[in-house]
Chain A
Amino acid sequence: MGAVIDGMGVAREALAALKAAGADKASASFSRGEQNELNVDAGRMSLYRSTVNVSLSLGALVGTRKGSVSLNKYDGEAIRQAAEEAVSMARSSESDPANDISPARPLESFEHGPSEPDNEAMYRRLKEFVDYAAERYPDTKLEQCILDFGRGESCYANSNGAEFRDRSGSYSFSAMFTTKRGERASSFNYSGASHRGLDKPLKDWGSIDLLMKQSTEQLDVDSVEGSFSGDLIITPDCFGDFISYMDSVYIGDYAIITGASPWKDRLGQEVVSPLLSLRSEPNGPGIEIGYSYTGDGFRAENCPIIEKGVLKNYSIGFYASNKTGKARCPSGGGAPVVDAGDTPFEDMVRSVKKGLLLARFSGGSPSDNGDFSGVAKNSYLIEDGKIVRPVGETMVAGNVAEILKNIRAVSRERVDYGSALFPWVLTGGVNISGK
């Protein structure tokens, strides 16, 4: 199960097959990954899982018509058939001058993290976590926890001569839990993170220990009274969701290509609070688990997305860039880092007259205009500068752009998820309603 494969050789062979099948331009990516995974279910270690998979993706351009095929085989005959299918699909498609491949770039190779798992340390760290949770939070049930080590090689090549190879290994841990005492149960909560090593106890990854402690406080919840416009302190776990919403509604491929984005002509302008700076940092240093190249064949470069409230880059790829004439995002748009502010979390709480500490948002995807509404989960009522009690059956509604404009403070403290780095954020003007 540990066969050595020349990944770049497979990608180049796929390119040759695409050209032989009639592609004018072609791209190919090949990856091989192995995963070792330990699972905890209902509080006990239950499954040891080892998986191997490969993925070969072929893209063909005939003129500017495009077809794509992916499969998990890489023998010569499978490659030849897939190449012919991709070219046939391209010929069946429609011309679109925005379809293209990235320019030539000599092969660059990258290596990150360990190449083999430390199985003994994985077991020891997970057992330590299960024992810690049982002792510290005896009423908290670990619904499911997953500790895995993934390693592999991914390669990209296109017929212009751009080539990348990346070998990496990292550990990921996620924990989902509920506190139950008698017939009372808290809402479930979860968090997780990824790191190159197992130096830290798993309870200290991301915000896991904090959320488990909060879970024990959330057995008895009640709705807020009535409906009011109030403040939100959005936790790092939850703020990541709002960054994703901003991406999908305002700056991502779909929103920009369709022209539905309210920010489609706002590059270089202030679109949110000047207290907010968001960078995409696939090469670190803030991000430990980044990436070296983008899916459309460019070297991933760090770049600002929002700088002191000003929109600096859309998070669009090569196709959307060609389609709209707007600049491609140099980073590919991932690995988000929100700069720390200068307000201690405790001071943020003290400044709130009435509002919520929003720890998890269970809501539908925002509308195309950025409106959102949903349930405040694992959250707390704040009144007169104090966290008063946990809330349940409480809904929040607002507009993504508005709450980003209304940011009044960003915390000094941040939570490191390995692939993202977020602070607590204080904003206002949100509708909060009870039963």
Chain B
Amino acid sequence: MRYSDIRRHAGLFSEYTELRVQENRSSRISVLNGDVVGNAASSQAGVSARSYKDGVWGFASSPEAGDEAVRACVVRAAANARFLASVEGRDAKPLPSRPGNSEHDLSTAKARVSRKELIDFARELDAYCQKRFPGLLSRSVSLSALDMEKTLLSSDGSASYSLIPRSLAAISLTVEAKGEPIDLYDIFGGRGHFEDNFDKPEALFASIDLLIERLKQKAAGVYAKPGTKDVILDSDLAGILAHEAIGHTVEADLVLGGSVAADYMGRQVASPLITLVDYANTASGRLCPVPLWTDDEGIEARDAVLINRGVLTSYMHNKESAAHFATEPTGNARAYGFYDEPLIRMRNTAIVPGDSALADMIASVDDGYYFLRSSNGQADSTSEFMFGVVMGYEIKGGTLGSALRDCTISGVAFDMLKTVSMVSGDMSWTAAGMCGKKQSIPVGMGGPAIKCRVNVGGRA
């Protein structure tokens, strides 16, 4: 429920302060082998305040959002900041200010579907999977949704409201091949309520057909051979590369914490074909998967062009890091729950498309792989990354060959990006990502396909 007239609390502020009233509403339906094993809804609502004094922060939160709880939070946050300042305070540069005053409610305008209809939707997807592939060892279908509703007031003049919904359908299938279980998954949906992302179950049947076809190919597939290979990373992997391998190393708090990117500003870190942007809310005229107009410090959010034609041009900042680096804040301060403090987080991180055609890129590889879908990714302060790959194909003489069993790819991103020799002209977003960094938070990742060289790990 929308919080009204947050500005009336401005008189409580005694230090630089942000006040946030927030509710996260989530829902999950899980169907496992035809049984509804999960049918749950959750709400977490409350208020938090964060104050800044002499280079340190105080934070307090409460599940109550009445005026007395708001007052208590503001007082406690300021007291915490003063206590820490009394023992650890230092000369600190003033925090920069660029107050955002935005209101965005991305709720559906359609009538909301009932719980029964959601369960029926999931069960119809499950039934279709079983009908199309009776030999499946297991089937898992889940529908999940998260609404994040925030009202923010900052002492430097920001007053903002947002309600950003996300809804996803995930399907995971397992088949037995030579006595071993082989699995593959896909996720559909993204920004928006269920009603805006999904129509009838039939609309997903073609995607399920493709998932089943690829699972069959994978079950009959081969293991990737370990070693350094020429590969085509499809958009799913290019997106996770942008986020994990590069994005984290150029978050300003991690730069201050020892990232190798601290020494690379203004230097050529990638092929001139690579431009990488953390978009605030809009890319190429279209709304991003996780749009942000005002961040949780009250900064008007702007795009951060991290790499421009191969040159490192920017970090992602909150107010404090922008002051430290004597630059403009980018509006990357985000918090997951009302009880969380804002951290520097990515929003919608993507490699900008080039001008090659995917077919030409595959044809240019004599002995390598085409990697399509990742499971997870991890990165490092050194920019060394690892992605799990759950779907891909061999490329032999420029032609796609056998499908691959699961493997892992790795490399040092600032080395690997210099090997990029082709970038496709198309672009797609992954809108289902959750990024973990003290708190877990939704992020968007996107990109074209890229041709590069990476290390492939496998057991062959």
Contacts and interface: CB of A to CB of B under 8 A. Distances in A.
B258 A188 contact: yes
B62 to A, nearest CB: 5
B256 interface: yes
Contacts of A109: none
Interface of B: 32-33, 35-46, 48, 55-63, 72, 76, 80-81, 83-84, 87-88, 90, 114-116, 119, 123, 137-138, 140, 174, 180-183, 226-228, 253-254, 256-260, 262-263, 339, 341, 374-376, 378, 380-382, 384, 386-390, 405-408, 410-412, 438, 455, 457-459
Contacts of A85: 41
Interface string A177-199: 11110010111100000000000
B423 to A, nearest CB: 24
A51 to B, nearest CB: 5
Contact of B257 (A88, A144, A396): A144
A259 interface: yes
Contacts of A176: 257
B56 A48 contact: yes
B408 A143 contact: no
Contacts of B59: 47-51
25 contacts: A42-B257, A44-B88, A44-B90, A47-B58, A49-B80, A53-B63, A89-B39, A90-B39, A92-B119, A94-B36, A96-B36, A98-B35, A185-B259, A254-B32, A258-B33, A323-B35, A363-B388, A364-B374, A364-B389, A365-B375, A367-B406, A369-B182, A393-B455, A398-B459, A399-B459
Contacts of A267: none
A53 to B, nearest CB: 5
A94 B137 contact: no
B115 A397 contact: no
Given A69-B42, A395-B455, A397-B408, 17 more contacts: A41-B253, A44-B90, A45-B56, A47-B84, A49-B80, A50-B61, A72-B43, A88-B115, A89-B41, A186-B382, A257-B33, A362-B386, A367-B406, A371-B406, A373-B457, A431-B458, A433-B226
A174 B114 CA distance: 43
A179 B262 CA distance: 13
B58 A42 contact: no
Nearest to B26: A70
Nearest to A185: B260
Contacts of A50: 59-61, 76, 80
B457 A435 contact: no
Contacts of B119: 92-94
A319 B256 CA distance: 47
A179 B380 contact: no
Nearest to B45: A72
Contacts of B88: 44-45
B455 A143 contact: no
Contact of B382 (A177, A187, A227, A435): A187
A67 interface: yes
A230 interface: no
A199 B137 CA distance: 52
B84 A45 contact: yes
A396 B226 CA distance: 10
B384 A69 contact: no
A393 B412 contact: yes
Contact of B62 (A52, A395, A396): A52
A49 B382 CA distance: 30
A107 interface: no
B381 A185 contact: yes
A398 B408 CA distance: 12
Interface of A: 1, 38, 41-54, 66-73, 85, 88-90, 92-94, 96, 98, 123, 127, 141-144, 146, 176-180, 183, 185-188, 227, 254, 257-260, 262, 319, 323, 362-365, 367-369, 371, 373-375, 377, 392-393, 395-399, 431, 433, 435
A262 to B, nearest CB: 8
B388 A364 contact: yes
Contacts of B384: 187, 375, 377, 392-393
Contact of A1 (B76, B181, B382, B405): B76
* Among B38, B226, B374, B438, residue most surrounded by chain A Cβ atoms (within 10 Å): B226
A123 B87 CA distance: 9
Contacts of A392: 382, 384
Contacts of A1: 60, 62, 72, 76
B43 to A, nearest CB: 5
A311 to B, nearest CB: 18
B405 A187 contact: no
B408 A395 contact: yes
A143 to B, nearest CB: 3
B380 A362 contact: yes
A53 B46 contact: yes
Given A227-B226, A363-B388, A52 B61 contact: yes
A332 B174 CA distance: 26
A273 to B, nearest CB: 20
Contacts of A374: 386, 388, 408, 410, 457
A257 B458 CA distance: 29
Contacts of A371: 405-406, 459
B80 A187 contact: no
Contact of A369 (B55, B180, B455): B180
A395 B226 contact: yes
Contacts of B376: 364-365
B262 to A, nearest CB: 8
A123 B138 CA distance: 51
A117 to B, nearest CB: 13
Contacts of A72: 43-46, 63
A262 B179 CA distance: 9
Given A47-B84, A187-B381, A319-B37, A364 B226 contact: no
Given A369-B181, A397-B457, A70 B174 contact: no
Contact of A395 (B61, B181, B378, B410): B410
B248 to A, nearest CB: 10
* Among A177, A363, A364, A392, residue most surrounded by chain B Cβ atoms (within 10 Å): A364
Contacts of B381: 143, 178, 185-188
Contacts of A319: 37
Contacts of B258: 141, 143, 177-180, 185, 188
B75 to A, nearest CB: 10
Nearest to B56: A46
A42 B457 contact: no
* Among A71, A123, A368, A431, residue most surrounded by chain B Cβ atoms (within 10 Å): A368
